[in-house]
Amino acid sequence: MLPVTVKLNRHIVVIVIGIHIAGLYRSANSKIDGQVQNMDMIFFTDFQRAVSGTVVNHNIVKIRRIFLPDVALKDEVLETLLQQIEEAEVSVEYLSAGEHMTDGALQISCLHPYAKKVPEDRNDSSLVLRLSQGDFQMLLTGDLEKSGEDWLVEQARPATQNPLRCTILDAGHHGASNATGEALLDLAQPGVVLISCGKNNRYGHPAPETLQRLEERGIRWYSTAEVGAIQVQVGKKKVKIKQYIQN
């Protein structure tokens, strides 16, 4: 899966690997020969067998803190991940809706799941994060599907300040038809939607229905299946999006 890299300023970079992991590092002291060596935070938006062990492996990158969704879910994949985290001697913390953390001007807010949620399936346990810095907001929805999105919308509507409003939305579940629904789009009102999926994937992502919802609302979208790796550069006055493959 090709990454989406978000450069919030000259020191803080967020890498979204597929939709299952988001990592934060400081570029000033984390790179050697262009490779990330130290990761300050890793957020597992959900538990995926294929990527978990690879990222936790300290031979690849040194991680300070790992965050997992605070849900009442116990399965083989999670138990394996927790064992790997313990062996790597990394601090693990659990996040639920309403929790916030700051790093300089960057604020990271957790919007889902609610604490100790009993998820319908692994996708329903997805960690939803909102990154805010100045006038820029990015919403990461992981693998969340319609039922989870409906809960997000229900929680957001009574709020004085809309917590779902964003500059950029990272489409849920690789752009599947049962995610990035109308209610979420109408409340979030993103200017751009990024879709992380492999080229010619067997699921047909992004779904035509999802793309139709975006186009009906005049929302610009980029898919890694078409343009390769994506880099978002957040400046003081504007946001620039760079794509690996130029159309």
Token pair 């229900």 in the structure block, residue: 154
Neighbours of 55 (CB within 10 A): 20
Distance CA 50, CA 115 (A): 26
202-226 residue pLDDT tens? 999 999 999 999 999 999 999 999 9
Neighbours of 116 (CB within 10 A): 11
Q: How far is CA 81 from the centre of its chain?
A: 19
214: left (phi over 0), alpha (psi -120 to 50) or beta: alpha
What string of H, E and C letters represents the secondary structure of the chain?
CCEEEEECCCCEEEEEECCCEEEEEECCCCEECCEECEEEEEEECCCCHHHHHHHHCCCCCEEEEEEEECECCCCHHHHHHHHHHHHHCCEEEEECCCCEEEECCEEEEEEECCCCECCCCCHHHCCEEEEEECCEEEEECCCCCHHHHHHHHHHHCCCCCCCCCCCEEECHHHHCCCCCCHHHHHHHCCCEEEECCCCCCCCCCCCHHHHHHHHHCCCEEEEHHHHCCEEEEECCCCEEEEECCCC
List the pLDDT tens digit at each of the 247 positions of the chain: 567 788 887 656 676 655 456 777 665 454 444 555 677 888 887 666 444 455 566 556 678 888 889 988 777 878 888 888 888 888 889 999 999 999 888 899 999 999 989 888 888 888 999 999 999 999 999 889 999 999 999 999 887 789 999 999 999 988 999 999 999 999 999 999 999 888 888 999 999 999 999 999 999 999 999 999 888 988 888 899 988 887 6
142: closest CA among 165, 183, 172, 185? Answer: 172
The predicted structure's pLDDT at residue 30: 47
What residues contact 75, with CB distance under 8 A and at least 6 apart? Answer: 47, 122
- Alpha-carbon Rg for the chain in angstroms: 17
What residues contact 11, with CB distance under 8 A and at least 6 apart? Answer: 26, 27, 28, 104
